[in-house]
């Protein structure tokens, strides 16, 4: 591994960091060697996930929150996970079109394609987080695709998960419908200048009251108008309070353990699948598919043959 590149990454040089993330997106031995070299220098950054249904204003809120952290003298990086192009596999939305006013602020921004991953997160996001962590960023903000019911994967990566709601989306509480209320460490009703914002916040508070564990962290329900920067300072304070709670109750280490447990399992699944299929000829694969399609054999029988083979 190039020692100069490692030094540049650890110094947070934007070009070197960008190249490193490109390398981990491509995968392969180069990516693995890079992560091995950087891994001992990780574990310091606060990882904050921002998720919610489409239309809640995630990009605008992440923009405003990043600026707020900069005023608090934090080094900030943003990973914006976008839907994948069905033609190129790349991100449909890029950071050139979003968050343009962050240019020149010292905030590192990177768009990554979801590539169809469950939860809307790219497989390389985990490695990109490690690169940014090693580059000595204090805060890493991850904005997810916003795919509704799939938006739970972010909780595996983040120390603090922010779930956004907005009034007037056709459902009083989209989070309940999406099944993501449970992952929230902070609940935010954005676009709070719209009618129904108070009702949405009250409904969220009511559902929090149903939590039987009175000793657990209770997610605060905040109202923001991200486009105007209103309520963003209070949101940053709530994130800081949650980070303090994690530290005082020794929960940050547990979150890290759960994160790497999932990552290790997912990596093993990908590697084992690759090893099992790398020597399978296209003709053999098509034969299996034909046997399943014509109902001569079932998928379990084929899978057992592959695994035993």
Q: Residues 172-179: contacts with CB within 8 Å, 24+ apart?
A: 172/196, 172/199, 172/200, 172/203, 173/200, 173/203, 173/204, 173/207, 174/52, 174/53, 174/56, 174/148, 175/52, 175/53, 175/204, 176/207, 177/148, 177/149, 178/53, 178/148, 178/149, 178/151, 179/149, 179/152
Quick check: 48 and 159 in contact, CB under 8 A?
Answer: yes
Characterize the bridge pairing of strands 108-113 and 139-143.
unpaired
Q: Is the pLDDT of residue 121 over 70?
A: no
Per-residue pLDDT tens digits for 196-207: 999 889 988 888
Which tokens hold the place of 18? 């960008």
Query: What are the extents of the domains in the chain?
Result: 41-249, 262-308
What is the spatial distance between Cα 189 and Cα 68, in angstroms, rounded to a whole number? 18
Per-residue pLDDT tens digits for 259-276: 999 889 988 988 899 888
The fourth-level CATH superfamily of domain 41-249 is P-loop containing nucleotide triphosphate hydrolases (3.40.50.300)
Question: If pLDDT is split at 50, 70 and 90, which confidence band does 1 have?
Answer: low
Per-residue pLDDT tens digits for 279-305: 899 999 999 999 999 999 999 999 999
Quick check: 94 and 111 in contact, CB under 8 A?
Answer: yes
Quick check: 243 and 46 in contact, CB under 8 A?
Answer: yes
Quick check: 22 and 124 in contact, CB under 8 A?
Answer: no
Whole-structure pTM value: 0.86
What is the spatial distance between Cα 24 and Cα 127, in angstroms, rounded to a whole number? 6
Which tokens hold the place of 288? 């299996």
């Amino acid at each position: 591994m190039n020692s100069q590149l490692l030094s540049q990454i650890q110094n947070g040089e934007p070009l070197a960091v960008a190249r490193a993330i490109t390398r981990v997106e491509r995968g392969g031995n180069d990516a693995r060697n890079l992560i091995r070299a950087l891994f001992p220098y990780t574990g310091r950054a606060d990882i904050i996930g921002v998720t919610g249904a489409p239309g809640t204003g995630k990009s605008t809120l992440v923009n405003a929150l990043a600026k707020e952290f900069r005023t608090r003298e934090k080094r900030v990086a943003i990973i914006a996970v976008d839907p994948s192009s069905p033609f190129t596999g790349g991100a449909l939305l890029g950071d050139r079109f979003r968050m343009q006013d962050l240019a020149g602020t010292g905030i590192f921004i990177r768009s990554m394609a979801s590539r169809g991953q469950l939860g809307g997160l790219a497989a390389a996001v985990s490695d990109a987080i490690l690169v940014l962590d090693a580059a000595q960023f204090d805060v890493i903000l991850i904005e997810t695709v916003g795919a509704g019911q799939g938006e739970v994967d972010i909780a595996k990566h983040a120390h603090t998960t922010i779930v956004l709601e907005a009034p007037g989306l056709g459902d009083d509480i989209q989070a309940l419908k999406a099944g993501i209320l449970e992952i929230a460490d902070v609940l935010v009703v954005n676009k709070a200048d719209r009618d129904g914002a108070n009702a949405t916040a009250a409904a969220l508070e009511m559902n929090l009251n149903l939590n039987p564990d009175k000793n657990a962290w209770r997610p605060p329900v905040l109202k923001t108008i991200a486009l105007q920067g209103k309520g963003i300072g209070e949101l940053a304070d709530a994130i800081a309070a949650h980070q303090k709670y994690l530290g005082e109750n020794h929960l940050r280490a547990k979150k890290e353990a759960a994160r790497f447990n999932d990552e290790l399992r997912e990596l093993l699944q990908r590697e084992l699948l690759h090893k099992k299929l790398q020597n399978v000829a296209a003709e053999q694969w098509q034969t299996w598919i034909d046997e399943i399609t014509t109902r001569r054999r079932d998928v379990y029988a084929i899978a057992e043959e592959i695994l035993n083979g």
